[in-house]
Chain A
Amino acid sequence: AQSVTQLDSQVPVFEEAPVELRCNYSSSVSVYLFWYVQYPNQGLQLLLKYLSGSTLVESINGFEAEFNKSQTSFHLRKPSVHISDTAEYFCAVISDTGRRALTFGSGTRLQVQP
């Protein structure tokens, strides 16, 4: 069975500061990893994904995440956040065996303050 742990339920940060949102997963097989973002009153949007190859993946709006197999982590980072990054962020995992639906973490609410 696969599971995802997001260690921080809320992360307050000042504008233009760096941020890291932590995600650890548990699975006995090879996995694919995703980060989704949810803005207020909206559904989830894909932010970035790790499928294979380079362990560092980037999104178009400056976020990046690094797949670390030895630490079973997929932390999300941004070197300088904006007010508009305020949202809830979900880490998710899936594998080619077992259940074919994403398993989500409990989410991290990023609050960017001026």
Chain B
Amino acid sequence: DVKVTQSSRYLVKRTGEKVFLECVQDMDHENMFWYRQDPGLGLRLIYFSYDVKMKEKGDIPEGYSVSREKKERFSLILESASTNQTSMYLCASRVRRGLVSNQPQHFGDGTRLSIL
């Protein structure tokens, strides 16, 4: 089974801090994703990465950046945390099969981040 591991289940930070959320997958997947989950809004894509050092903005990239230096690890960075970034953050990975996008995304258990 695919294992996607997010480093923290719960995290509390202060406004203005630089926050790092880490995600590691063990299946050599090329594609990795960061989503934000809020009640009534479902999951919204923040950033995704096609492969090492490659990234693309999703629907809500403002206030976030990402890093993918190694294939197995995809980091989400909140440059200067604000209270409206309090949310559940979900990481996912997917194998790439050429140009076809129908492989399922596999999710971690999420990080519940509170910004005070």
Hey, which bits of chain A sit against chain B, CB under 8 A? 4, 6, 9, 32, 34, 36, 41-46, 49, 51, 90, 94-96, 99-107
Contacts and interface: CB of A to CB of B under 8 A. Distances in A.
Nearest to B112: A41
A12 B100 CA distance: 37
Given A99-B56, A107-B40, 16 more contacts: A32-B101, A34-B104, A42-B109, A44-B107, A46-B106, A49-B102, A96-B102, A99-B58, A100-B101, A101-B105, A102-B33, A102-B43, A104-B42, A105-B42, A106-B40, A107-B42
B102 A51 contact: yes
Nearest to A42: B109
A94 B108 contact: no
B107 A43 contact: yes
Given A43-B90, A44-B90, A90-B43, A101 B33 contact: yes
Contacts, number: 62
A90 B105 CA distance: 13
A45 B4 CA distance: 12
Contacts of A4: 42
Max count, chain B CB within 10 A of own CB: residue among A44, A46, A107: A44
Nearest 9 CB-CB pairings of A with B: A43-B107, A106-B42, A104-B43, A32-B102, A44-B107, A104-B42, A43-B109, A46-B104, A100-B101
A94 B109 CA distance: 22
Nearest to A49: B104
Interface string B94-116: 00000111101111111000000
A106 B41 contact: yes
B45 interface: yes
Max count, chain A CB within 10 A of own CB: residue among B35, B99, B102: B102
Nearest to B48: A101
Contacts of A32: 101-102
A95 B43 contact: no
B50 interface: yes
B50 A100 contact: yes
A32 B100 CA distance: 10
Contacts of B109: 41-43
